[in-house]
Amino acid sequence: MSRLPEFHAAKWDEPVIMELGRPGGRGQIFPKPESEIEAEVGADLIPAGMARKDRPALPEITEFEAQRHYLHLSQMTLGMMGVSLFGTCTMKYNSKTSEYATLRPELAEVHPYQHPDTLQGVMGIVHDFDHMLRSLSGMDQFIFQAGGGADAAYTMAIVARAYWADRGMLDQRTEMVTSIQAHPCNPATAAAAGFKVVNLPLEENGYPSLDALKAAVSDKTALIMINNPDDMGIYNPEIKEWVRVAKEAGALCFYDHANFNGVMGKLSARELGFDACMFMLHKTFGAPKAGGGPAVGAFGCSDELAPYLPCPVVAKSGDKYILDEDRPKSAGKVREFWGNIPQVVKAYAWARGMGAEGINLASDISVVANNYMDKRLSEIPGLAISNPHISANRMEMTRWSFAPFAKKPASEQLISPIAWRTTASTPSG
C-alpha cells in the first residue's frame, strides 16, 4: 500500500551552496609534495606577491555535501522525468543507437568554428534531414537553430515581425490569434516579439468555432499560431478552413507541430495552407528532451518566408555544403551557431532507421496505444480526463488528473497496486 505523493517532481528545501558548509569542511585533502619535488621547486610554489592575504569567501564543504547538493538540484530539474514522465515530450522512443551515433569522434570532436570544408559530413546530415522534414511537411526550408519548441515558436514570431516590417506594415499587423488550448509558448513568444495576443475560447467540441475565428481575424492580424492535435490530443477537423479564413484576412499561418506523433505521414502543413511549421525533435524524432534544453525545434517555412530565417542556413552549392550567412533580411539569431547538432544527428538516425513507412506506422501505433491507455485509465476510480464534457476522440495523447483522488480524505488516499490491477479490465484482442 502506498500513499500518492502530492508533488509532480522532486522537491528539496535546498539552500544555495554559499549557505552550506562550516569552517574546516574539506572536499579534498591533498597529500604533501614528495621531498624530491619540494627540494627541486621549493615549498612555496606561489610567489609571495601573488599569494592572497585573506581566505577566499567560499563554502567549506565535504565532497559528499557537494555531491548531495548538486544531486538535489539535478533531481529538482530533471526529476519530473522520473516522477511524472514529463508531459508530452516523452511520447517517443529515444534509441541508444542514436546516442552512440553522436558519440563518434567525427561528430563529438568537431566545432562550428572549424572551416566549413572540414565539416562537410555533418553539414550533409543537416542538409539531408532538412530535406526529410521538407517531405513530411511540404515546406521549402528547415533550420535547426532553435533550442526547443518554444524557441521555434519564437522563431516564427520574429520571422513574422521581419516579414511585416519588410512590407512596411508592422504598425498595422499587430495581432496574433491563437486558442486557449495552444501551448503557452505560442502566446508568450508572440507577445515577446511585440504582438498583441487574441486567445479564442473552446467550444463543446474541444476547439474554437470558425465563427469565433472569423470575428477575431482582420487586417490587423499578423499571424495565427495553432497546434493540432492540441495538448489534449483533440484534432480540429476544420483546420483547412481555419487557414483559408486567416489567409483571406492576409495573415501568416504557423502550425505548431509539437503533437505530430499522431499524424506523421498523414498530412502536410503546406498542403493545409500553412506558411511555416515546427517539429520538436525531442518530442517526435527520437532525440531526448534534455530537461528543457538543449533540445531542437526544427523550424520550416515557405520560400516566401525563407529570406527572414535566422542565419546561418546549411545549404548545398554544387557538390559542397555551405553555411549561407548572406541573408540581409534575416530576423536575427535565436541561438548560437546552427543549433544543437548532436540532437539533429540523433533525429536523423531515428528517421533513417524508421523509414517513411515506419514513421507512418508509428503514428498509427501512437493513436492506438493512447486510446488503449485511455480506456484502461478511465476504469481507475479517482482519475479524471481533462475536459470530460468534450466527447471528441483523443489522438496520440490525453491529459488525466488525480484531482478527484486528491480531494478525498488522506485516509482514503491509499492505493493498492493489486486493486489497480483488478479494477482495470483485461484487454481482449
Ligand X SMILES: Cc1ncc(COP(=O)(O)O)c(C=O)c1O
89 vs 269 by CB, closer to ligand X = 89
Least separation in angstroms between residue 382's CB and ligand X is 26
Q: Which residue has the cell 529538482?
A: 76
Least separation in angstroms between residue 312's CB and ligand X is 22
156 vs 251 by CB, closer to ligand X = 156
87 vs 382 by CB, closer to ligand X = 87
Helices vs. strands in the chain: H and E counts, helices first: 12, 13
221 vs 261 by CB, closer to ligand X = 261
Least separation in angstroms between residue 91's CB and ligand X is 10
- Scan residues 138-177 and list those touching ligand X (CB under 6 A): 148-150
Among 130, 175, 256, 275, binds ligand X (CB under 6 A): 256
221 vs 227 by CB, closer to ligand X = 227
Least separation in angstroms between residue 165's CB and ligand X is 25
Number of residues this chain uses to bind ligand X (CB under 6 A) = 16
Local structure of 209: helix, strand or coil: coil
Q: Are strands 221-227 and 175-179 parallel, antiparallel or unpaired?
A: parallel
The answer to whether 152 touches 146, Cβ cutoff 8 Å, is yes
Local structure of 297: helix, strand or coil: strand
Q: Is 183 in the site for ligand X (CB under 6 A)?
A: yes
Q: Which residue has the cell 486567416?
A: 246
- Return the C-alpha cell found at 422: 483488478
- The residue nearest ligand X at its CB is 149
Among 91, 101, 185, 263, binds ligand X (CB under 6 A): 185
Q: Is 263 in the site for ligand X (CB under 6 A)?
A: no
21 vs 286 by CB, closer to ligand X = 286
61 vs 397 by CB, closer to ligand X = 397
116 vs 291 by CB, closer to ligand X = 291
- What's 18's DSSP letter? G
- Return the C-alpha cell found at 160: 513574422
202 vs 280 by CB, closer to ligand X = 280
Q: Which stretch binds ligand X (CB under 6 A): 44-52, 251-259, 331-339, 419-427?
A: 251-259
DSSP 306-374: GGGSPSPEEEEETTEEEEE---TT----SSSTT--HHHHHHHHHHHHHHHHHHHHHHHHHHHHHHHHHH
User: What does the chain come to in residues?
Assistant: 429
Q: Is 294 in the site for ligand X (CB under 6 A)?
A: no
The answer to whether 180 touches 326, Cβ cutoff 8 Å, is no
CA-based diameter of the chain, in Å? 88
Among 190, 243, 258, 276, binds ligand X (CB under 6 A): 258
Local structure of 196: helix, strand or coil: strand
- Scan residues 43-102 and list those touching ligand X (CB under 6 A): 87-89
The answer to whether 310 touches 142, Cβ cutoff 8 Å, is no
Least separation in angstroms between residue 278's CB and ligand X is 8
Distance CA 330, CA 118 (A): 26
Among 80, 263, 269, 280, binds ligand X (CB under 6 A): 280
- What's 87's DSSP letter? G
Binding site residues, ligand X, CB under 6 A? 87-89, 148-150, 183, 185, 227, 231, 256, 258-259, 280, 295, 297
